[in-house]
């Protein structure tokens, strides 16, 4: 059985994954940041600490086969915070993976690495990076770091460009970007167990009728999403769109409209 480590176990998606992976009998070590985790099963392997500290990373990755890296700042924040949590910590994690012979990292990338593409575009994973802020920029950088450690050190990575991962879609943008929890768990499971991946980028998205993204390449993982945001469309379309007119023009939504100062783009809605 593979030994799996999970960072960000106290975060929104980390809590979902931690519980589900334990229920599935995964040999899991869960890590949080500054606050200790309360075990949810007897004898659970838990820890906490700052991932910028190599000693903490060594405790995390000793004996680990696969790391699911969900930790980091997940919203738009000032650049110094993004650098510390999403760049410096990620380098420490990959250096630790190299020291400990970790075979694969499942990296939580984000759709915000491409968020300035217009909503009319249908994108493959080979599309041009167009980050919608410092957070998206950090995920673009993280994918590059994952590529580097595969090319130079043979550490496999699956970079999952997560869309809107919530229990159910609640707004118009989610009709294109939703990743349901069942599909998230399937995608993580396939990212852990699929053989000989090398370096892969996939969209973290369900089988949404209105998806912005062509995820056909994820078939290599054996990922076959079953959830579709269109099942919730009638209720969503009956409500107003909470995103600003500028945000509605770009795939990154509200992230794209934050600190947007161009005057040559009309805020026309769809």
Catalytic residues: 135
Q: 155-186 b/e with 16+ CB inside 10 Å = b?
A: bbbbbbbbbbbbeebbbbbbbbbbbbbebbbb
Cα gap 175→229, rounded to integer Å: 5
Q: Say if residues 181 and 21 touch (Cβ distance below 8 Å).
A: no
CA 175 to chain CA mean position, Å: 18
Q: Say if residues 192 and 2 touch (Cβ distance below 8 Å).
A: yes
Helix (H, G, I), strand (E, B) or coil at 30: strand
Pairing of strands 45-48, 27-32: parallel
Sign of CA dihedral 56, 48, 161, 63: positive
250 secondary structure, DSSP code: B
Q: Say if residues 71 and 33 touch (Cβ distance below 8 Å).
A: yes
Cα gap 143→195, rounded to integer Å: 20
Q: Say if residues 251 and 121 touch (Cβ distance below 8 Å).
A: yes
């Amino acid at each position: 059985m593979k030994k799996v480590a999970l960072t960000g176990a106290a975060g929104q998606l980390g809590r979902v994954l931690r519980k589900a992976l334990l229920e599935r009998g995964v040999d899991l070590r869960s890590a949080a940041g500054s606050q200790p985790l309360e075990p949810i099963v007897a004898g659970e392997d838990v820890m906490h600490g700052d991932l910028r500290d190599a000693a903490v990373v060594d405790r995390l990755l000793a004996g680990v086969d696969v790391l699911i890296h969900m930790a980091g700042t997940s919203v738009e924040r000032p650049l110094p915070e993004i650098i510390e949590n999403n760049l410096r910590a990620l380098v420490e994690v990959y250096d630790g993976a190299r020291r400990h012979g970790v075979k694969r990292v499942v990296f939580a990338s984000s759709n915000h690495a491409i968020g300035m593409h217009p909503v009319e575009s249908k994108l493959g994973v080979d599309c041009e990076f167009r980050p919608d802020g410092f957070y998206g920029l950090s995920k673009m950088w993280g994918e590059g770091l994952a590529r580097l450690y595969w090319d130079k050190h043979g550490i496999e990575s699956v970079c999952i460009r997560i869309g809107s991962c919530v229990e159910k879609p609640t707004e118009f943008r989610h009709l294109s970007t939703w990743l349901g929890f069942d599909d998230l768990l399937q995608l993580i499971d396939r990212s852990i167990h699929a053989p000989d991946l090398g370096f892969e980028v996939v969209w973290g998205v369900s089988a949404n009728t209105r998806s912005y993204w062509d995820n056909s390449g994820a078939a290599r993982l054996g990922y076959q999403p079953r959830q579709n945001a269109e099942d919730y469309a009638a209720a969503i379309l009956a409500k107003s769109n909470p995103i600003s007119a500028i945000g509605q023009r770009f795939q990154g939504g509200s992230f794209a409209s934050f600190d947007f100062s161009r005057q040559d783009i009309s805020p026309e809605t769809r």
